[in-house]
Amino acid sequence: MDFASFLTSLATSFILFVVLMLLFTWLSRKPGNKEVYYPNRILRGLDPWEGGSGRTRNPFAWIREALSSSEQDVIAMSGVDTAVYFVFLSTVLGILVLSGVVLLPVLLPVAATDNFMKSSNDTSKGTFNDLDKLSMGHIEEKSPRSWAFLIATYWVSFVAYYLLWKAYNHVSDLRAAALMSPEVRPEQFTILVRDIPPPPEGQTRKEQVDSYFKAIYPDTYYRSMVVTNNKKVNKIWEDLEGYKKKLAHAEAVYAESKKTGKPEGTKPTNKTGFLGLLGKKVDSIEYYNQKINESVSKLEAEQKVTLGEKQQASALVFFTSRVAAASAAQSLHARLVDTWTVMDAPEARQLIWPNLPKNFYERQIRQILVYVIVALTIFFYMIPIGLVSAVTTLANLKKILPFIKPIVNILAIKTVLEAYLPQIALIIFLALLPKFLLFLSKEEGIPSESHAQRAASGKYFYFSVLNVFIGFTVGGTLFDSFKDIEENPNSVVDILATSLPANATFFLTFVALKFFVGYGLELSRLVPLIIYHLKRKYLCKTEDELKAAWTPGDLGLATRALKVYVPSYESYGKMWPHIHSRLVAALVLFQVTMFGYFGIKKFYYTPLIIPLPILSLIFAFICSKKFYRFFQATALEVACRELKETPNMERVFRSYIPPSLNAEKVDEDQFEDAASQVSRSQSFV
């Protein structure tokens, strides 16, 4: 890619970005679209235009708002995790700016005025292009100008250390502030207990858990909730909720038909068979009412069975103080370490219930299996994809699906398809990969959604580093120069250093494209807007349905904007150590590459780089020793801060009851029974 084509590609992307931004400006000013553009604010009952006047709102307003709004606002609005994401952005930006501002004015002239290319009289292999003239590739071998780049490497490293240290400290502060907040948060009073041994003869699981913890925590133990197998009760509850929604929909249709058609209206009907397409035609409102009544009684019966007989070897245990819970979550309870294992309870909405009762060794085995599968995926995913894309040529497709022939034969479409078909399998694979990794992480037996997401993003990071980066750009070079390696295995660093700068411009383009197009599309929220309007017009009849249509999804792995996304859970910044260690890993890779590159330039003082990777490792070690454990556990000095009010333990407890066991009509005697049992036994003690 030469300089011209780079500029073209950059310009195209930028124009696309501007168009999308203009669309955003136009659309977001229309009051009818406000649910799509400010859902988070509306959900919190705030005025969507509060802060900036409606007229001056522009696509970059969110950036200004993000910059001007204090971190406290961000935390109040979207939680610690979003604030941590901003810390990440500002740290990376800080490293780029501090490096760039100081170095570019110095390094660009140093490189550009060197006469290496001229002196070699175009005898080079033509790997240098216009853009590369500005880079280190342009300076002469053994040139003393390398000193500038050596010092630059040190400068970038120390800027990175300084900013990363500040960021870690700051995130640690944020986490501490959130954990010591005077608000009552149920998860701070709760621990998750797993691997409970079989109860002794004549004791229920609940009695076993209660007596165990009451003995250890006579003063601070509140009560326990034994995890049950909710598969069946969940199914019934989901059916019930479905019927309720369909009933409301049918009633809305009926009411509308009264307004528009005959005054008595048309009663909506539906068929009872497969997907509403087959079977007897019935009156929808009557039918769903009947179904709801059936389901409610079934649900009540199943709830009794579930609570009584489907208790599993896991429980949530509630304490009356934050310190007691934080301390209990960190302490060894049982002599046999693989029983009564404890951990911080995640938020109720994060719990992956089916994973809770999984046995200690089952979890270990699952983890090993998942790691093996991930490793196989990372190293060999090209094989099935290659096979698939070899089979799905255009000619083959036409044979299998004859009806696409007329479309495919149009020249323009044919050209595009022929160009992109080979990559489609890869694109689909890369698009599905995060979901696949998340699925695998959940299969490990991880008890909370945010933890599973962290595990998945860790796997994705390894995939990216090993495959997209090394595999795509270096792999080719390595294969070409395999003979070199066989002759001299130490040359891997050299090869890395030769190939990486050459690929740097490619990456620059890739990042620019991804940022402008991807982020622009995301910001303008075009796709959800279209879907929302379509749904509103043709499908949604009730308020609830409307809300479901515009309520945004959770914080994706890569795509966020401050006012739009409702964070689906709060991990109090637990992802930071992972982000931090990946940034340090990138820094080490940069330093090693520079080492190799100076070597290629035959610069005598190249060994002066060697202290840097060592320094980076020491830096990582100190950071992990100083901060990491606080991100795994709650420090007691933080948990012991006073609360605004005495916690309403009943509410704390109820927040963890899954909705399928907590329907309005159902009497909660099961829970009450158990609770009163405890208080009775308490009075005996």
**How many Cα atoms are found within 13 Å in the side-chain-facing hemisphere of 569?**
20
**How many Cα atoms are found within 13 Å in the side-chain-facing hemisphere of 362?**
10
User: Shortest distance, CB of residue 194 to a copy of itself, whole angstroms?
Assistant: 14
CA distance 270 to 279: 9
Q: Does 634 bind a copy of itself (CB under 8 A)?
A: yes
Among 330, 389, 503, 655, binds a copy of itself (CB under 8 A): 330
Q: Does 331 bind a copy of itself (CB under 8 A)?
A: yes
C-beta separation of 446 from 370 below 8 A: no
User: Shortest distance, CB of residue 282 to a copy of itself, whole angstroms?
Assistant: 58
Q: In the structure encoding, which two tokens stand for residue 590, read together? A: 């940069």
User: Shortest distance, CB of residue 146 to a copy of itself, whole angstroms?
Assistant: 33
Q: Does 112 bind a copy of itself (CB under 8 A)?
A: no
Among 24, 37, 85, 212, binds a copy of itself (CB under 8 A): 212
C-beta separation of 317 from 191 below 8 A: yes
551/681 with CB nearer a copy of itself:
681
Question: Pairing state of beta strands 311-319 and 341-344?
Answer: unpaired
Among the candidate windows 344-352, 493-501, 632-640, 648-656, which touches a copy of itself by CB under 8 A? 632-640
Question: Which one, of 606, 598, 370, 585, lies nearest residue 469 by Cα?
Answer: 585
User: Shortest distance, CB of residue 462 to a copy of itself, whole angstroms?
Assistant: 23
Q: Does 572 bind a copy of itself (CB under 8 A)?
A: no
Furthest CA-CA distance within the chain: 97
Q: How far is CA 380 from CA 78, 375, 386, 444, 466, in A?
A: 39, 8, 10, 21, 12
User: Shortest distance, CB of residue 275 to a copy of itself, whole angstroms?
Assistant: 49
DSSP code at position 644: S
31/611 with CB nearer a copy of itself:
611
Instruction: Identify residues 128-187 at the interface with a copy of itself (CB under 8 A).
Output: 172, 176
Q: Which secondary structure element, helix H or strand E, spans residue 482, and what is its range?
A: helix 482-487
Among 340, 460, 463, 590, binds a copy of itself (CB under 8 A): 340
Angle at Cα 308 formed by Cα 306 and Cα 311, nearest 5°?
70
342/495 with CB nearer a copy of itself:
342
**How many Cα atoms are found within 13 Å in the side-chain-facing hemisphere of 246?**
22
Q: Does 576 bind a copy of itself (CB under 8 A)?
A: no
Question: Pairing state of beta strands 311-319 and 221-228?
Answer: antiparallel
Among 113, 124, 364, 423, binds a copy of itself (CB under 8 A): 364
Q: Does 633 bind a copy of itself (CB under 8 A)?
A: yes
Q: Does 427 bind a copy of itself (CB under 8 A)?
A: no
Q: Does 627 bind a copy of itself (CB under 8 A)?
A: yes
Q: How far is CA 506 from CA 503, 513, 576, in A?
A: 5, 11, 29
C-beta separation of 447 from 343 below 8 A: yes
Among the candidate windows 216-224, 413-421, 556-564, 581-589, which touches a copy of itself by CB under 8 A? 216-224
Q: Does 514 bind a copy of itself (CB under 8 A)?
A: no
Among the candidate windows 144-152, 224-232, 307-315, 631-639, which touches a copy of itself by CB under 8 A? 631-639
CA distance 39 to 34: 7
565/631 with CB nearer a copy of itself:
631
Count of other CB atoms within 10 angstroms of residue 279: 12
Question: Pairing state of beta strands 269-271 and 281-283?
Answer: antiparallel
User: Shortest distance, CB of residue 7 to a copy of itself, whole angstroms?
Assistant: 49
Q: Does 361 bind a copy of itself (CB under 8 A)?
A: yes
Q: Which residues sit opposite 193 in a β-bridge?
A: 315, 342
CA distance 530 to 520: 16
Q: In the structure encoding, which two tokens stand for residue 390, read together? A: 């070899």
Q: Does 630 bind a copy of itself (CB under 8 A)?
A: yes
Among the candidate windows 359-367, 576-584, 600-608, 645-653, which touches a copy of itself by CB under 8 A? 359-367
Q: Which secondary structure element, helix H or strand E, spans residue 317, and what is its range?
A: strand 311-319
Among the candidate windows 96-104, 269-277, 618-626, 674-682, which touches a copy of itself by CB under 8 A? 618-626
- The SS3 of residue 314 is strand
Radius of gyration for the alpha carbons in the chain, expressed in angstroms and rounded: 30
User: Shortest distance, CB of residue 615 to a copy of itself, whole angstroms?
Assistant: 15
User: Shortest distance, CB of residue 204 to a copy of itself, whole angstroms?
Assistant: 19
CA distance 223 to 239: 31
Q: Does 219 bind a copy of itself (CB under 8 A)?
A: yes
DSSP per position, 14-81? HHHHHHHHHHHHHHHHSGGGHHHHSHHHHHTT--TTSSS-TTT--TTHHHHHHHHS-HHHHHHHH-HH
Question: Tokens 């780049």 appear where?
Answer: 149
Helical H runs in 266-355? Answer: 284-309, 322-328
Q: In the structure encoding, which two tokens stand for residue 585, read together? A: 């890993």
User: Shortest distance, CB of residue 635 to a copy of itself, whole angstroms?
Assistant: 5
User: Shortest distance, CB of residue 633 to a copy of itself, whole angstroms?
Assistant: 5
Among 11, 96, 216, 534, binds a copy of itself (CB under 8 A): 216
Q: Does 637 bind a copy of itself (CB under 8 A)?
A: yes
Among 2, 338, 480, 667, binds a copy of itself (CB under 8 A): 338
C-beta separation of 313 from 357 below 8 A: yes
Q: Does 629 bind a copy of itself (CB under 8 A)?
A: yes
Q: Does 551 bind a copy of itself (CB under 8 A)?
A: no
User: Shortest distance, CB of residue 70 to a copy of itself, whole angstroms?
Assistant: 22
77/315 with CB nearer a copy of itself:
315
Among the candidate windows 100-108, 252-260, 335-343, 376-384, which touches a copy of itself by CB under 8 A? 335-343
- The SS3 of residue 269 is strand
Among 375, 379, 636, 650, binds a copy of itself (CB under 8 A): 636
C-beta separation of 67 from 89 below 8 A: no
Among the candidate windows 358-366, 430-438, 527-535, 585-593, which touches a copy of itself by CB under 8 A? 358-366
Q: Does 285 bind a copy of itself (CB under 8 A)?
A: no
Among 300, 628, 655, 662, binds a copy of itself (CB under 8 A): 628
366/563 with CB nearer a copy of itself:
366
179/609 with CB nearer a copy of itself:
179
Per-residue contact flags (x/-) with a copy of itself for residues 375 to 404, judged by CB under 8 A: ------------------------------
Q: How far is CA 249 from CA 23, 99, 232, 245, in A?
A: 33, 59, 26, 6
DSSP code at position 330: T
Among 626, 651, 669, 676, binds a copy of itself (CB under 8 A): 626
C-beta separation of 81 from 573 below 8 A: yes
Among 107, 328, 609, 652, binds a copy of itself (CB under 8 A): 328
Q: Does 255 bind a copy of itself (CB under 8 A)?
A: no
Instruction: Identify residues 86-105 at the interface with a copy of itself (CB under 8 A).
Output: none
Question: Which one, of 181, 184, 208, lies nearest residue 196 by Cα?
Answer: 208
173/672 with CB nearer a copy of itself:
173
* Contact set with a copy of itself (CB under 8 A): 172, 176, 212, 215-217, 219, 323, 326-328, 330-338, 340, 360-361, 364, 622, 625-630, 633-638, 640
